[in-house]
Every structure is written in structure tokens, then in C-alpha cells.
């Protein structure tokens, strides 16, 4: 069944303390060549019928992302051809 995948990320200018905490832990793994980690959220949506990108965009814009602090991108998996970004 095709799904719509919504990726939500904090805008680049918004501080991501979780990402920083992860980045700061990496040296304990012996990793020293990572300069930045940013953490986002991936949401998968299944429609009862065909994936509806417009409806998914509305869901993402109104609920899944807060446009004040976050950007989102939408794509359909298993369809492979539809992908778009909303910076």
C-alpha cells in the first residue's frame, strides 16, 4: 500500500538541543568527525484509497508541523515519483 511520508525538521535557525546532545555524545563512540546533528520526525500516512498529496500537505501544514519553527517535506513511497519540499 503506498504511503505518504512527511518529514518534519526544525528550521535551520532554530536551536536543536537534542541534536546537540547527540553530537556531544559521539566522541564517546570514538566518532570525532561529525560537526552537527539535527533531529527531526518522520510521519507515515496511509489513506483508505489512493494517497492524496494535497490532503497530506494540508495535514502537515495544519497539524504535523508548526510553520513557526519547522519545515516539512512530503513524498509518496512505493510510487517513487512524487516528492516535494516546503521550506
Partner 1 sequence: MTARIGVVTFPGSLDDRDAARAARIAGAEVVPLWHDDPDLHGVDGVVLPGGFSYGDYLRCGAIARFAPVMETIAAGARDGLPVLGICNGFQILCEAHLLPGALTRNQHLHFRNRDQVLRIESAGTAWTNAFQPGQEILIPVKNGEGCYVADGRTLDELEATGRVVARYLGGNPNGSLRDIAGISNEAGNVVGLMPHPEHAVEALTGPSLDGLGFFTSILKHLAGAPA
Binding interface with partner 1 (CB under 8 A): 13-15, 17-18, 21, 63-64, 66, 68-69
Q: How far is the CB of 13 from partner 1 (least distance, A)?
A: 8
Report CA torsion sign: 14, 19, 63, 87: positive
Q: How far is the CB of 41 from partner 1 (least distance, A)?
A: 8
Indicate the DSSP class of residue 48: S
Cell of 66: 508548526
Indicate the DSSP class of residue 23: H
Q: Which is nearer to partner 1, 23 or 79 (CB)?
A: 23
Reference 42, options 81, 87, 1, 4; nearest CA is: 4
Q: How far is the CB of 38 from partner 1 (least distance, A)?
A: 13
Q: Which is nearer to partner 1, 27 or 67 (CB)?
A: 67
Helix (H, G, I), strand (E, B) or coil at 65: coil
Q: Which is nearer to partner 1, 73 or 79 (CB)?
A: 73
Amino acid at each position: 500500500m503506498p504511503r505518504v511520508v512527511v518529514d518534519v525538521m526544525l528550521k535551520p535557525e532554530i536551536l536543536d538541543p537534542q541534536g546537540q546532545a547527540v553530537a556531544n555524545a559521539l566522541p564517546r563512540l570514538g566518532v570525532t568527525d561529525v560537526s552537527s546533528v539535527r533531529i527531526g520526525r518522520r510521519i507515515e500516512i496511509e489513506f483508505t484509497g489512493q494517497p492524496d498529496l494535497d490532503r497530506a500537505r494540508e495535514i502537515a501544514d495544519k497539524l504535523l508541523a508548526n510553520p513557526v519553527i519547522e519545515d516539512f517535506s512530503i513524498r509518496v513511497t512505493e510510487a517513487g515519483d512524487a516528492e516535494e519540499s516546503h521550506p
